[in-house]
Amino acid sequence: MSEGIIKPEAEMRSVAIAEATVVEGIRNSLSRIADMVREVHEALRDLGQGMLESVRVRSDRIWESRKRASDELRNYVTHFIRVRLGLENRDLYHAIFAELRSLTRSLSDVSCILKEMALARDSPSNVSTALDASRSIVENIQSIVDATMTLLDNPRASVDLLEKSYRSLEDLESSYRESICAKASQLSRELLRTLLSIARSLSLISENLRFIAMQRM
């Protein structure tokens, strides 16, 4: 569209509503993921204390939550596909939804790993690191969720939150890389690698949302 052409007000309003709904879907998906990571954190705490039955229960709960999150995400993606042609940042939104799908798969893997660790009575050798990391992941998800609240109306405020979240998640990745070592059990390494994948997906979501906010400033 050339610069001399101005979109009709009704069309602009329709696009704004569509984009707000897309952002709401992203926010809701992230909130659901945060709840699952909180459950992972509690399962890790129980695993460290030898409460194996509790770990199995939490693992099943994460699995069921993941199924619901996947169904909800499918609906959000369907809406996005329906309205994407009118969105200026559709490629960035597409990338965000791809990472959200990756997150649900990673949490499914975490659920299985936790159950296997409980059955094998295998507590991660660096459980304190995993606990700290899962707590940090939840905090960063909450920061990203907060940033989506102002993304469309006050993008400048969102940029600062998203930049801090991105840097924090990048630091978290570095910490995990150092923790994955040959001395850890196979299940412990799988757990840490999967948590690393979660942190990486969140950092990409944060960065793409930051790009969207910067373009709206």
The structural domains of the chain, with segments of one domain joined by +, span 9-216
Is residue 212 scored above 60 in pLDDT?
A: yes
Please report, as a single letter, which amino acid is at residue 49.
Q
Of 27, 62, 39, 40, the C-alpha closest to 161 is 27
12-43, pLDDT tens digit by residue?
Answer: 888 889 999 999 999 999 999 999 999 999 99
Alpha-carbon distance of 27 to 138, in angstroms, equals 14
Higher per-residue confidence, 2 vs 127: 127
Tell me if the domain spanning 9-216 has CATH number 1.20.58.220.
yes
128-150, pLDDT tens digit by residue?
Answer: 778 888 999 999 999 999 999 99
Of 67, 72, 65, the C-alpha closest to 42 is 65
Higher per-residue confidence, 37 vs 11: 37
Alpha-carbon distance of 161 to 145, in angstroms, equals 10
78-92, pLDDT tens digit by residue?
Answer: 999 999 988 999 999
Q: State the pLDDT at residue 34.
A: 97
Q: State the pLDDT at residue 173.
A: 77
Percent of the chain residues topping a pLDDT of 70: 90
If pLDDT is split at 50, 70 and 90, which confidence band does 202 have? very high
Question: 31, 145 in Cβ contact below 8 A?
Answer: yes
Percent of the chain residues topping a pLDDT of 90: 69
Q: State the pLDDT at residue 132.
A: 85
Alpha-carbon distance of 140 to 180, in angstroms, equals 22
Alpha-carbon distance of 193 to 190, in angstroms, equals 5
Alpha-carbon distance of 136 to 129, in angstroms, equals 10
Per the prediction, the chain carries an average pLDDT of: 89
Q: State the pLDDT at residue 150.
A: 96
